[in-house]
Chain A
Amino acid sequence: MATTALPSIPTADVGHGYTTTGLPHRKVAIWAFIGSECMLFASLISTYLIYKGRSVKGPFPHEPWTDPSTGHVFKPILNIPVTSCSTFVLLMSSLAMVLALAAVENRDKPKVTLGDRILGSSRLWLFMTALLGTTFLGFQAFEFTSFVHEGLSIRTNLFGSSFFTLTGFHGAHVTAGVIWLLTMLAIDFKRGLGPKDALNVDIMALYWHFVDVVWIAIFTLVYLIR
């Protein structure tokens, strides 16, 4: 074949922002990221379940334990009523997140009633989401300190190691989400979030809902199932 130049390939008249699916890149990427995170939490949860009941010494999640050397009796560690509250708080934060996104998307729509204005306040709902997320973290901090106080640390036994690592990873995700929310809130206060920012809020919401769903799985598998 001679090195002659080829006629050019047929061209498509698409603009700079063209995407194949019509979805923005970041939306596709966040889904890929969430898929990856699923495997991350699957590994953590599996480890917890594999090690369930294999600790050679207590304290244990659902059963009392008497330390044979000291005779000290440890209560079952998990406090299900308290965690149910924190679970409810986190679930409510997802609702607030939905409202925040809707508020950002509908920023330009006229708001007539007080209800319209409340529902349409992205600042309020972003703040509520962050607040509820922080409340959840507060519950977790309370839970962790009381567990340590009761004699279960990350070094105590297999249950302690796998429990604190699993819930700690989740807590770290919530913390990252709260920081993200607060950043977004700051932008909202600075210049106001409008429909053009909806994508950014949408991505954040996807992440937040994912973290929430993971907690449902953790709550069910770690706390509720004995």
Chain B
Amino acid sequence: MATTAAPTFATHTEYAVGEGWRAWLGTTDHKKIGYLYFFTALFFLMFGGAEAEMIRWQLRAPNEHFLSAETYNQIFTMHGTTMIFLVVMPMSAAFFNLLIPLQIGARDVAFPRLNAFSYWVYLLGAIFISVPIFFGAAPNGGWFGYAPLTTMPYSPGLNIDFWALGLQILGISSLAAGFNFITTIINMRAPGMNLMRMPMFTWMAFVVQFLIVLAFPVITIAVVFLVFDRFFGTNFYEIAAGADPLLWQHLFWVFGHPEVYILVLPAFGLVSEVLPTFSRKPLFGYPVMVYSGILIGVLGFGVWAHHMFAVGMGPIADTVFGVTTMLIAIPTGVKIFNWIFTMWGGSIHFTTASMFAIGLVGMFTIGGISGIMHSSPPADLQQTDTYFIVAHFHYVLFGGSLMGLFAGIYYYFPKLTGHMLDERLGQWHFWLNLVGSNLAFFPMHFSGLLGMPRRIYTYDANQGWDGFNMMSTAGAIIVGVASAILAINILISRKRGAPAGNDPWGGGTLEWSIPSPPPVYNFVHIPRVTSRYPMWDLTSPQLTADVPHTRAGDKSVEVDVAGVDAGHAGPRPGGAPAGRSPAPVVAAARIPTAEELGIPIPYTTLKPFFTALGLTVMLSGLPFAHADMPGIEYTLIFAGACTLVGSLFWWVTSPLEPEVAHSEHTH
């Protein structure tokens, strides 16, 4: 993509009212919150990556003692917990925040203050669960925290307390964000954007929000039981009282398997945005992509026990869960083929973004195939809890989620910051990542099938695992270098990257119609949508002319789009006749402020932050009960509860934004 003209776009970084730290702490702007999510998740990516490097360094050869058993167990637990809850989910949340309102043509999310609350709870929860590692008290029961190992008799330390309470805090963040985005997507789509015109990323985000609000309550209850057992002496996982450890496993995986799709569907959505843009073709089989995403989400709730084929559920349950698991392969396979056929016949432009997207298609396929291999319960008995599984889910989560998120980062960074990421560094990042991750994760298939169990901090020599582990460690180091390049690229380009302009890639969806970074109000006028790729209707109407623009649903939004030619391409706002490129318009050098436009913007407010702070402080009092410091315990709980209730009251009783004279809204 050659830039021929000097950029004429004003680059501005002012998102919210106010300046400095208070503007960040009190922001309610979805873009700014997305920005915060993005950089926090990036930080934790490096944190979790460092943990991965330590794990691999320990396992580079047999009988190594770089880490003690205890330290290793804390680090592998935190690696999983960090990557899932502090990296992939919040990085996805960064994209939800940044993109959903822009893609559906809205000015913000439905509940801007709740959105800020979600972020602050996430940040404080992340700190709560991560800091103990510096005191040697990090969670050490695995990210899956199987009872009864996590109960008081077997884990008397504070480690599991931090894990259980941290998970509760992070769950609150995800749930609040889930309600918010569901409402946003259902209720804030621009006129004409019916569900079948929604950009695929928003669609996948929509599915993910349902998974979150339906799956997180289950883990909440499972962890509530654990917390009650640990603090109040209940019997939920108390073996002597007749408790069944499988209760935890069932509850955990009823959450845990949808969680896998919570992690991967946003990446699928991003790839479904990136591939059409860089192939210059619309997404192949859009309706099927939507249905397969929904189907994956629905089936995701019916397969949880495939994590438990070795627990002895009996042949009937094994059969049922084996078969439902195989069924999930069908919609997933459909997605893979639809992506390939999006590119088929296209004009594929290789940028870092599109290469990461293509990388996802290739890598996720490998993870999908190994997934089928352990959907068969008997075969899984030779695979489960070995490195084969580690290989599988790293192909799915690294090759899937992270590669997709990387594609999203390169694709949307310009929109977020107004600056392009450096492509040369991007290429280094991509290739090192591709080579490194395959070198790290492919040999794990072998070490697993050759008998190496998971979660072991050391292994004996002469077991035939040495070479594979050495390869994995080498690969991990390469991935580490790649990640460092990503971080450097982002830090450098954030301010110094080439100016992006509205639409550096020629994207088709609404977010590319507005400046980068978007003004605080996003859209001067709420757009009216008549197709899936409104931007392409403008830039290349001759190509979109025979596109079946879905018209169903226009009536329901009670907006007159009847003036638009039904059999023809998109609207011609500038009166440009079909077939002719619209006349270029020089962009305004200065972007008008919301005030000038008369658009009400939510107040900057610290209430969500203090509510989140109160919540976290309140819960962080609990571990002191086990540290025999009741004074600190009750002080923290009391102070936290007061802060929580006070700021919540203050929040609920204060208006969101200035009253608008012409407002028609009723709420």
Chain A residues engaging chain B, CB cutoff 8 angstroms: 1-26, 28-29, 32-33, 35-37, 39-40, 42-44, 47, 50-51, 54-56, 154-158, 160-162, 165, 196, 199
Minimal Cβ-Cβ distance residue in A for B195: A20
A148 to B660 CA separation, bound complex (whole angstroms): 56
Min CB distance A177 to B, Å, is 16
Q: Are B217 and A56 in contact (CB under 8 A)?
A: no
Q: Are B587 and A17 in contact (CB under 8 A)?
A: no
A56 to B236 CA separation, bound complex (whole angstroms): 13
Q: Are A16 and B662 in contact (CB under 8 A)?
A: yes
Complex contacts, A55 vs chain B, CB 8 Å: 241-242
Q: Are A9 and B538 in contact (CB under 8 A)?
A: yes
A24 to B243 CA separation, bound complex (whole angstroms): 45
Q: Are A29 and B667 in contact (CB under 8 A)?
A: no
Contact (A19, B244) CB under 8 Å given A3-B501, A7-B573, A25-B111: no
Question: What are some 20 contacts across the A-B interface (CB < 8 A)?
Answer: A1-B1, A2-B4, A3-B7, A5-B8, A5-B586, A6-B538, A11-B525, A12-B528, A14-B526, A15-B665, A29-B110, A35-B214, A40-B218, A42-B218, A47-B236, A154-B228, A161-B241, A165-B225, A165-B228, A165-B234
Interface locus among B181-189, B262-270, B373-381, B432-440: B181-189
Contact of B584 among A5, A8, A24, A26 (CB under 8 A): A5
Q: Are A6 and B585 in contact (CB under 8 A)?
A: yes
Contact (A3, B4) CB under 8 Å given A19-B187, A36-B175, A155-B234: yes
Complex contacts, B191 vs chain A, CB 8 Å: 12, 14, 18, 20
Complex contacts, B528 vs chain A, CB 8 Å: 9-12
With A6-B535, A6-B538, A11-B573 already in contact, 20 other A-B pairs whose C-beta atoms are closer than 8 Å: A2-B3, A3-B7, A3-B501, A7-B574, A8-B513, A9-B513, A9-B534, A9-B573, A10-B573, A12-B559, A16-B600, A16-B660, A26-B667, A40-B218, A43-B218, A43-B251, A43-B254, A47-B236, A54-B243, A162-B236
Min CB distance A173 to B, Å, is 13
Complex contacts, A2 vs chain B, CB 8 Å: 3-5, 584
Majority secondary structure, B binding face: loop
Q: Are A36 and B214 in contact (CB under 8 A)?
A: yes
Q: Are B662 and A15 in contact (CB under 8 A)?
A: yes
Complex contacts, A8 vs chain B, CB 8 Å: 513, 524-525, 573, 585
Q: Does B320 contact A (CB under 8 A)?
A: no
Contact (A161, B188) CB under 8 Å given A5-B585, A10-B528, A10-B530: no
Contact (A47, B214) CB under 8 Å given A4-B584, A14-B526, A32-B182: no
Q: Are A154 and B175 in contact (CB under 8 A)?
A: no
Q: Are B236 and A29 in contact (CB under 8 A)?
A: no
A161 to B220 CA separation, bound complex (whole angstroms): 16
Contact (A43, B221) CB under 8 Å given A26-B667, A28-B187, A196-B666: yes
Contact (A16, B667) CB under 8 Å given A7-B538, A29-B110, A155-B232: no
Contact of A54 among B213, B244, B504, B600 (CB under 8 A): B244
Min CB distance A16 to B, Å, is 5
Min CB distance B222 to A, Å, is 7
Minimal Cβ-Cβ distance residue in A for B527: A9
Q: Are B667 and A47 in contact (CB under 8 A)?
A: no
A207 to B241 CA separation, bound complex (whole angstroms): 36
Q: Are A158 and B586 in contact (CB under 8 A)?
A: no
Q: Does B615 contact A (CB under 8 A)?
A: no
| CB neighbors of A among B472-504 (8 A) | 501-504
Contact of A56 among B4, B183, B241, B664 (CB under 8 A): B241
Q: Does B215 contact A (CB under 8 A)?
A: yes
Q: Are A50 and B247 in contact (CB under 8 A)?
A: yes
Q: Are A23 and B179 in contact (CB under 8 A)?
A: no
A160 to B242 CA separation, bound complex (whole angstroms): 13
